[in-house]
Amino acid sequence: MNKAELVSAIAKRADVPTSTVDSVLAGLQDELVDAITRGEKVAVSGLLTVERTQRSARTGRNPQTGESIDIPAANTVKVTAGSNLKKAASNVPV
């Protein structure tokens, strides 16, 4: 499902115009980016948690040449599924 399909599905389910849903998703995106920039954790209960984490410097290996390379420390984003998403995933047969 891409963003346009998501906007349409939410608009139909909530019985609101697609432009409203698109504005809300844009606001959500902006707020998530701002919160991550500030180092805050964002939790939507039952759905997901988004937080900034730090990855330490390490030594890697170029798979083509086998040469060792130094990978610098970096900030990254961690997204954790909430209980409702975990439950939905576990109910799907493998």
Quote the pTM value: 0.78
pLDDT tens digit string along 43-90? 999 999 999 999 999 999 999 999 999 999 999 999 999 999 999 999
pLDDT at 94: 84
Query: Which residues lie below 8 Å from residue 23, measured CB to CB, with a gap of 6+?
Result: none
- Annotated domain spans of the chain: 1-37, 38-85
Q: Kindly state the average pLDDT of the residues 8-21.
A: 96
**Parallel, antiparallel, or unpaired for β 74-81 and 48-55?**
antiparallel
Q: Quickly tell me which residue has 């990855």 as its tokens.
A: 55
pLDDT tens digit string along 17-44? 999 999 999 999 999 999 999 999 999 9
Classify domain 38-85 by CATH number.
Answer: 4.10.520.10
Sheet of 48-55: strands edge to edge?
A: 42-44, 48-55, 74-81
pLDDT at 79: 97
